[in-house]
Structure 1
Amino acid sequence: MRNCSVTKFPNILRKLKHLRTVSISSNRIKGKVPEWLWSLPNLEILLLSNNFFKSFEGSKKVIVDSSVKLLDMGYNNFEGEIPLPPLSIKTFYARNNTFTGNIPLSFCNRTSLTVLDLSYNNFTGPIPQCVNDFMIVKLRKNNLEGSLPDRFNVGTSLRTIDVGENRLTGKLPRSFLNCSSLKFLSVDHNRIEDTFPFWLKALPDLQVFKLRSNKFYGPISSPDQGPLAFPELHIFEISDNNFTGSLPPSYFVNWKSPSLKINGAGTMYMAEDIGASTYDDLIDLQYKGLSMEQMGILTFYSAIDLSGNKIEGQIPESIGLLKTLIALNLSNNAFTGHIPLSLANVTELESLDLSRNQLSGTIPSGLKSLSFLAHINVSHNQLKGEIPQGTQITGQSKSSFEGNAGLCGLPLEESCFAPPTQQPKEEEEEEKEEEEVLNWRGVAIGSGPGVLLGLAIAQVIAAYKPEWLIKIMCQ
């Protein structure tokens, strides 16, 4: 009965004693969840999400005693203290309601519970210590306080933990080192004060790593000035902190850019198999100059956001090894030097923000060949010369290039009248940088199987047809 515009709870269901699954999600049902529903003897899956339920009829004890194993009551109008789930519960979704109070410690007594999603409510108090026993923990956007529990034991099955947009303090738990299955780690928009967690490089499967808007500080390059040590990352977001220092030239050499194909499970999204269903990770992305929430992360989505810090020095040419990078944001830092010519190799790039740095030189002409580039911002730097004239660049707003006294050409109003004698000098500068790019291609090849993109980038970049993207969006 999903998405059938039902306005009243279908009481006929109470006569169907053999029901195992009840799905009435995405309707317009108001009021209370009936008490008899929990007495159906064989009920295991109950989906109530996306309605207008406000409360529960009768005693909440009948919920505890029911046989339900998967309960989804998200996206409703439930308020007050959250009812305790059934003792048999394995998967519990209650996101996007207005539940208040502390998260009950009784959740720790649900020994079969593996998935707990209480995001987007008004919970207060600390995070229960038992979250180390779960596989997926989503507590995003509440009013939780205190520090993250530091009790993650060896062998824990934790794969996803999202505690972003709370009021958490303290440091990142060092016991995260024991979470060898961890793929999704998000602590963004809290008050955590710590140095960059280089020690997390021991996690072999970490794909999403978000530290945005905290009080992290210090360098983000390892003491040995080697490459970034998180080879499976898809999303690396550490913006709006107090990180300092520079990035070594080899910083991105070990980054395995995600493949542009459907994953082994036959889906195009990062998801976890939790038995009766799959769980899609939801993420808040900074993309194309906008903040957006996305349910389901494409397996091939790849983004780097270092914006809003105090990072200085040159942008490493090794960034060009990340051919399938889709979004790059280095804005509001203190980067100097030229924009890397190797960015022209990042052929899937859709969003590039280098604004508010101290970059100099010209905008590489190769950027105009990036056929997917929909957003570019290089404003408020020290760039000069003519803006490359291509559809993807000249179609941008003027504000994307303002604040560079030496820039000229569309979409700016300033025309370029460079005398012919200056042209050879600019070409000489680009040729010098091109030599550096070729050197990095050689470094990638020399790294062997540790660098998946090295051999591809060592070849001449062939014209890439965007039909794959059209097919994906039309499915």
Structure 2
Amino acid sequence: MELYENKLSGSIPKEAGNMTALVNLWINDNSLSGVIPQQIGNLHHLRILCMFMNKLSGPLPPTISNMSSLGTVDISSNTITGALPSEIGSMKLGILILDHNALTGTIPSAIGNMSDMRSLLLSSNNLNGPIPSTIGNISNLRDLLLSFNKLNDLSSNKLSGELPSSICKLSHLNYLLLSNNTLEGRLPHCFENFSGSLTIFHLNENKFSGLIPSTFSKNCSLMSINLGNNKFHGRLPKSLINCQSLRVLYIGNNRIQDDFPFWMERLRKLLVLVLRSNKFGGNMSLPSRTKFPFPRLQVFDVSHNEFLGSLPQRYFKNFRAKIYPTVFYEEFLDYVEMILTLKGQDQLLNRLPETFTAIDLSSNRFCGTIPPSMGNLKSLKYFNLSHNSLTGHIPSSFGNMSELESLDLSTNNLNGEIPSELTRLTFLAKLNLSTNNLVGQIPQSNQFSTFENDSYIGNLGFAEFR
């Protein structure tokens, strides 16, 4: 029965349990409300049960475990409450999708009895407690999503404790998303072996510590790694160069202590590189043998580290993604979750738009002048060089950055006048030139007429403030 994407409202009638010959029930994308009736368990021949995107509430009926033919259950994006019934472990489900609800309690250890499970999605609920060690018994599991999207959901899983070593048995994992919980401890070494099957590996916003797995295999298939906001230390493993399909690497807000990973310049599909708020250091302008480094990069954030020397000019010449938006776009990019400083505020992005571009080199020890070649970044939207020791003039070529929405050059030692060419930046919504040595008149035309005085304070040589 296919009744999806209509405007059905009201509750699911108890009489639905009388349709015992029913094989498929699709009533998703409606406005159905109320509880799921116990009588649903009478549908012994049902193989697919899809009720997602409704307004259903109350607990899952324990009678659902009577449906011995059921292979797929999707009741996501409702307001289902209560605990996962332990009876669910007796089912032979291949797909169980209950994310974006309000489930409470722990994940029952009986979940490990579901040996045929391929996809288990419990993200964005109110689950707590440890991940049961029996999870390792689900040997065919491909997708394990237990995370919480802070941007869109009120429900928040708070799974705790260490990852069970039995997770090493899940050798076919494709998606592993455990973000935004309170998991802790060191990662099992077996994660190095998963790199041949894993494509999405997100453990961000937890309390994990220790070293990042150091040996990624030659057949690495990882496309997105997010380990941000944990307590990882040590160096960035050079074996990541084996992950030639990698699009996203986010390891911000950890304790990684290393030089800049020049070897990553050869990751030709990389879209996002975020190393912010670690202990990286050294000179990023050292010679490199890579002719076209980072050819597809859209987001480059190394802020709040200890880099020194001149700005890495070769990156601004060759970041072609900043000039021609990338063509590498897959559905998985909707899972991207990044914290970036945009327009002076930390903001959370839960997906990567195709045209989104950002460079953030702020809060380091860069010195010297700003290369005029930066003006070639014509599709760059967010640019932050603040809190460094940069000298010289603001390049007039910045007027060519026609898509720029935010420019922060504050807290440097820049001198000279504001180039009149900057008035051509008609998309510029945020400008911060404060705490420099700038002089002369402040432009009054176009976007400059909208900026407050705090964009310019700390420059004693300006002729006047508005």
State the TM-score, normalizing by the size of structure 2: 0.80
* Structure-2 separation of matches of 1:250 and 1:90: 40
Q: How does 1:43-442 map to 2 (within 5 A)?
A: 43-55=93-105, 60-83=109-132, 84-85=134-135, 86-96=138-148, 97-132=157-192, 133=194, 134-223=198-287, 229-247=293-311, 249-258=313-322, 263=327, 271-272=331-332, 280-409=335-464, 412-413=465-466
Letter in 2 for 1:95: S
Alignment deviations for residues 419-448 of structure 1 (CA, whole Å, 9 cap, x no partner): xxxxxxxxxxxxxxxxxxxxxxxxxxxxxx
Structure 2 portions without partners, runs of 5+: 1-50, 149-156
Distance 1:319 1:193, change over 3 A: same
1:27 aligns with 2:73: no
1:442 maps to what in 2?
none
Report the secondary structure of 2:263's partner residue.
helix
Letter in 2 for 1:45: I
Letter in 1 for 2:337: L
* Structure-2 separation of matches of 1:264 and 1:216: 28
Alignment deviations for residues 296-332 of structure 1 (CA, whole Å, 9 cap, x no partner): 1012211100000000001111111111011000000
Letter in 1 for 2:109: K
Greater than 6 Å deviation, 4+ residue runs:
225-228, 259-262
Distance 1:262 1:196, change over 3 A: closer
* Structure-1 separation of matches of 2:223 and 2:446: 42
Report the secondary structure of 1:75's partner residue.
coil
* Structure-1 separation of matches of 2:248 and 2:82: 36
| CA displacement at 1:292 relative to structure 2 | 1.1
Report the secondary structure of 1:7's partner residue.
strand
* Structure-2 separation of matches of 1:18 and 1:396: 64
Percent same amino acid at aligned positions? 38
* Structure-1 separation of matches of 2:389 and 2:289: 19
Aligned length, in residue pairs = 400
1:275 maps to what in 2?
none
* Structure-1 separation of matches of 2:440 and 2:289: 33
Report the secondary structure of 1:108's partner residue.
helix
| CA displacement at 1:261 relative to structure 2 | 6.8
Asked whether the 8 Å contact 2:59–2:82 carries over to 1, the reply is no
Asked whether the 8 Å contact 1:35–1:56 carries over to 2, the reply is no
Distance 1:234 1:262, change over 3 A: closer
1:470 maps to what in 2?
none
Distance 1:212 1:227, change over 3 A: farther
* Structure-2 separation of matches of 1:225 and 1:396: 43
| CA displacement at 1:335 relative to structure 2 | 0.6
The answer to which of 48-57 and 191-200 deviates more is 48-57
| CA displacement at 1:257 relative to structure 2 | 2.5
* Structure-2 separation of matches of 1:370 and 1:329: 16
* Structure-1 separation of matches of 2:328 and 2:249: 22
2:59 maps to what in 1?
9
* Structure-2 separation of matches of 1:28 and 1:47: 13
The answer to which of 175-184 and 7-16 deviates more is 7-16
Report the secondary structure of 2:434's partner residue.
coil
Report the secondary structure of 1:253's partner residue.
helix
Alignment deviations for residues 318-363 of structure 1 (CA, whole Å, 9 cap, x no partner): 1111110110000000111111111111111111100000111111
Distance 1:128 1:36, change over 3 A: same
* Structure-2 separation of matches of 1:367 and 1:77: 49
Report the secondary structure of 2:259's partner residue.
coil
Letter in 2 for 1:117: L
1:418 maps to what in 2?
none
* Structure-1 separation of matches of 2:375 and 2:69: 59
Letter in 1 for 2:212: L
* Structure-2 separation of matches of 1:339 and 1:231: 26
Asked whether the 8 Å contact 1:184–1:206 carries over to 2, the reply is yes
Asked whether the 8 Å contact 2:106–2:128 carries over to 1, the reply is no
Alignment deviations for residues 374-420 of structure 1 (CA, whole Å, 9 cap, x no partner): 111111111111111123122122111111112245xx23xxxxxxx
Report the secondary structure of 2:83's partner residue.
strand
Report the secondary structure of 2:201's partner residue.
strand
2:24 maps to what in 1?
none
* Structure-2 separation of matches of 1:407 and 1:330: 21
* Structure-2 separation of matches of 1:98 and 1:357: 42
Asked whether the 8 Å contact 2:266–2:290 carries over to 1, the reply is no
Letter in 1 for 2:83: K
1:421 maps to what in 2?
none
The answer to which of 248-257 and 355-364 deviates more is 248-257
Letter in 2 for 1:175: S
Letter in 1 for 2:170: R
* Structure-2 separation of matches of 1:261 and 1:9: 46
* Structure-1 separation of matches of 2:187 and 2:302: 23
Asked whether the 8 Å contact 1:26–1:50 carries over to 2, the reply is yes
* Structure-1 separation of matches of 2:267 and 2:141: 29
Asked whether the 8 Å contact 1:271–1:281 carries over to 2, the reply is no
| CA displacement at 1:222 relative to structure 2 | 2.3
Asked whether the 8 Å contact 2:215–2:239 carries over to 1, the reply is yes
| CA displacement at 1:55 relative to structure 2 | 2.5
State the TM-score, normalizing by the size of structure 1: 0.79
